[in-house]
Amino acid sequence: MSNEEIKDMKELLKQAVAPVPDTELRRDLWPKMLSRLDAQPFPVHSVPWFDWVLAAILSAVLIFFPGSIPALLYQL
């Protein structure tokens, strides 16, 4: 495909799809932003899923094999 074809398509599009005529923002969006922030506060901490899996595995080991606790403490 040549640049000429791109140019032709550009001309065709220009006749059918005009550039957006007015890109001026008519109002302040800060109040809307504040509502959005109020509606969806950010989580203070987001713990990755694999951390939860590790914690679950460790808990299971400690519950089902309590004998491993001294070994674990020795390693710490």
**Contact positions vs other proteins (CB under 8 A):** 1, 5-6, 9-10, 12-21, 23-26, 28-30, 32-33, 36-37, 40, 42
Q: How far is the CB of 52 from other proteins (least distance, A)?
A: 21
Q: How far is the CB of 25 from other proteins (least distance, A)?
A: 4
**CA–CA gap between residue 1 and residue 20 (Å, rounded):** 28
Q: How far is the CB of 20 from other proteins (least distance, A)?
A: 5
Contact 69, 62 (CB under 8 A): yes
Q: Which is nearer to other proteins, 2 or 75 (CB)?
A: 2
- Taking every pair of Cα atoms in the chain, the longest distance, rounded to a whole number of angstroms, is 79
- Helices 68-75 and 49-64 pack at an angle, to 10 degrees, of 130
